[in-house]
Amino acid sequence: MTDARPAARRERNTILAALELFRATGAPRVFHTLLLFLYVCENEGLTVSELAYVARMHVTTTARLVKALAGEGATAADSDEGPGGLQAPLFAVRPSPDDHRLRFVQLTPEGRALRERMSGLIAAGHPIED
């Protein structure tokens, strides 16, 4: 068995680069939170229940992950990265002025900046295979 290594490292494809960019935020449960993040990027102002519906997740799971992405109550046990947690809140949760049960999910300035970085990756469009 040889100890051969690849000669050169190629640029990451768009999907992998976007996942790594999101993972670097310290968000808990990267896959599910990334799904929620992307849905909010496309649909700011959804309620938590609406977000759960479009993401096909349980409302309680969605609510817990929304809180984590808003910087509220995330624990190291929920994080794929261990201690440290979210670097900056990506979501802002606003209560409805008309119905105290409804909470609307929007991006924070940090969330918008991450959305723009991901949009740049997507626009560059490096395929999985060249």
What does the pLDDT average to over 44-55?
95
Give the CA-trace dihedral at 21, 31, 25, 62, to 10 degrees.
140
Which tokens is 129 given?
């295979």
Sheet architecture: strand order including 46-47: 46-47, 103-107, 91-95
**Residue 8 domain-assigned?**
no
Total domains present in the chain? 1
**Residue 129 domain-assigned?**
no
Which tokens is 65 given?
């992950």
Domain interval for residue 90: 14-79+86-124
**Range from 33-47, 69-83, 112-126 that averages highest in pLDDT:** 33-47
CATH number at residue 55: 1.10.10.10
Q: What is residue 84's predicted lDDT score, i.e. its pLDDT?
A: 56
Q: What is residue 14's predicted lDDT score, i.e. its pLDDT?
A: 80
**Residue 6 domain-assigned?**
no
What does the pLDDT average to over 35-40?
94
| DSSP string for residues in 24-72 | TTT-BSHHHHHHHHHHHHHSTTEEHHHHHHHHT--HHHHHHHHHHHTTS
Q: What is residue 40's predicted lDDT score, i.e. its pLDDT?
A: 96
Q: What is residue 20's predicted lDDT score, i.e. its pLDDT?
A: 85
Q: What is residue 83's predicted lDDT score, i.e. its pLDDT?
A: 45
pTM: 0.76
Instruction: Compare 66 and 22 and report the one with higher pLDDT.
Output: 66
Range of lowest pLDDT (4-8, 13-17, 22-26, 99-103): 4-8
**Residue 31 domain-assigned?**
yes
**Are 103 and 93 a contacting pair, CB within 8 Å?**
yes
